[in-house]
Structure 1
Amino acid sequence: MAKSINIKTGDTVKVIAGKDKGAQGKVLKVLREDDRVIVEGVNQIKKHEKVVNTGSGNTGGIVTVEAPIHVSNVMLVEGDGVTRVGFKKVEGTKKRPDGSTYTVQRSVRVSRKTGEEI
């Protein structure tokens, strides 16, 4: 069973370990099965792609793409620094189709540094 990942697509993260330590970027994709994330502009590799003739021209050659990086090597950016992610339950209300309302609890991500919702 894979552990939960507190980073989501679209979050801004900072690399805290590895060859790109200190770099910041936006999370493009989260690979939950492998506990990895793909961060824009971080951990770039050269990839050889086969040339394919398409109607709009030739594609292929040597391209630079972002490789996945382990989720333990990145931290969520908040304000000027980085923070860990916590969770708390928040009560809200929902409407039923007949118009009546009821209360529900939902889990929201919060910053461990400031306690604010992310």
Structure 2
Amino acid sequence: MASIKKGDTVKVIAGADKGAEGKVLEVLLDNDRVIVEGVNRVKRHTRAGQDGQGSTGGIITVEAPIHVSNVMLVVGDGSKKGTTRVGFRREDVTKTRPDGSTYAAQRSVRVARKTGKDI
């Protein structure tokens, strides 16, 4: 599930907040969920002093996680902005060891399926 990462801009494609865009605040790999800024907001009732800081209680609004299948990555700049699926490409790189010697390795690069450009 490395197709969506923290800091990516995504668009919600299903659910009550369909059509909303926001930045990914956190990725929860264990249950394939993401927390998106301003999306799927729920009210939490907190008790006074519950967090150890002696704060007052009340009702706070926080973002709840949504499933990663309900969001799509937004790519592009300016007027050429749109959603795309994410693909991966392996590319050869040369890495350097601490002792100065080098070796060949591969790394994975995210690619926009719609345009074929690196993300």
- 2:101 is equivalent to residue 104 of structure 1: no
Q: How many residues align?
A: 115
Q: Distance in 2 between matches of 1:53 and 1:15?
A: 33
- Per-residue Cα deviation, 1:92-112 (whole angstroms, up to 9, x for no partner): 111123323222111111110
* Distance across 2 between alignment mates of 1:112 and 1:30: 22
Partner of 1:52: 49
Q: Which amino acid aligns with 1:89?
A: R
Per residue, is there more strand in 1 or in 2? 1
Matched, 1:69 2:66: yes
Listed one character per residue, the Cα deviations across residues 63-116 of structure 1 (whole Å, up to 9, x for unaligned) are 000011111100000021000000000111111233232221111111101111
DSSP-derived class of the 1:59 partner: coil
- Contact kept in structure 1, 2:43 and 2:61, CA below 8 Å: yes
Give the counterpart letter for 2:84 in structure 1. T
TM-score after normalising by structure 2: 0.88
User: CA, structure 1 residues 105+47, in 2 after alignment: closer, same or farther (shift >3 Å)?
Assistant: same
C-alpha RMSD of matched pairs (Å):
1.8
Corresponding residue of 2:6: 9
Moved more, 95-104 or 36-45: 95-104
Residue aligned with 2:56, SS: strand
* Structure 1: tracts of 5 or more residues without a match: none
Name structure 2 gaps, 5 residues minimum.
none
What TM-score, normalized by structure 1, do the two folds share? Answer: 0.88
1:90 maps to 91
